[in-house]
Structure 1
């Protein structure tokens, strides 16, 4: 394996599946669990951050007449719901997990403590980080970058529904071309929408590579961690 300890960032909206008929599609959840378990069996240490956009986005708050800070906290709670669903599904597959939260809620998860998180990873447990970093105005992308730096991950893997970073939106423009590799500076200068600027800058300043890949394609996660070309590497 090219990477020994990874931070996997998953989209909450991806859990809805293509039909978007339910907030959490059991088929998508099962597929993610199978991919993650296959990776864990290769002795890779895995931390996960999952979004909450399938349930509630902090950015929706203003349209609903809700205070932005309150809306962000609602979004954090949405990520905990997704994290609990993922934890339950993984444990059904016989995988040991720990759910750690940026907001204290002792009945359902541990508070985030950096040394404890690292120890869980060393013991082979999958660590899921919920509730963002516990503060408003920060996205789950920022959470992924920060937690990856804190637990000394080798790479941030951003699982999306497209197979990398393109010159323009491939779902709208058929002539869009995919980048296989980019430097942080190139990605910044081309204004490519990879992560929000806070998350992107944190990775750049800490020399933490980012790989954007298609999480919905079977076997892709294992390919990426082996170092095979299956997405776009930003480093």
Structure 2
């Protein structure tokens, strides 16, 4: 990607280049495929024997996942501005996966360069502004998010616990106002055999399974069971 004379195009080029640098960094991590530390937050609900009180508690679970799994499983539907297809490029603006980020960063820049051929016309400036906004969206809502997932995670347990406690207060106030309120646990079943009347172990990939075995589509064979059990 070469620098351009148009100020808007220059900024679009700068962001697209920054995205290229993130692509190199992320792709290197995927090829290395090291185990990356991850943090998940599990919210557990308990209620009193008379079903009149409900309490939510959050627990932090630290584990690790291969870098390729983190990158390939990343999802975020990014709403991009669709620019008129004056050059019949048939550009697909759907952006949800990491591969979409890479494709659009490359293909949009090629099309944006064509619009620059219109010079400083109002039409060209308006369309290039849209491209610039799209490149910024790819950067902020896509590439930076994936990069963050591959970095050492920072615990948000304190902040999440505070929010959960606020919810507990609201639930308690609601129950105190309406004395006819009752709380009931939803039936949790084993994701391997479907049983509901047996303790379940939560595996590191998120599946809940009983002692009959892990879900056949899960990674629990390689993962470690979490100590929390659910009945």
- Structure with bigger gyration radius: 2
Shorter-chain TM-score tier:
under 0.3
TM-score (norm: length of structure 1)? 0.22
Higher helix share: 2
Q: TM-score, normalised by structure 2?
A: 0.22
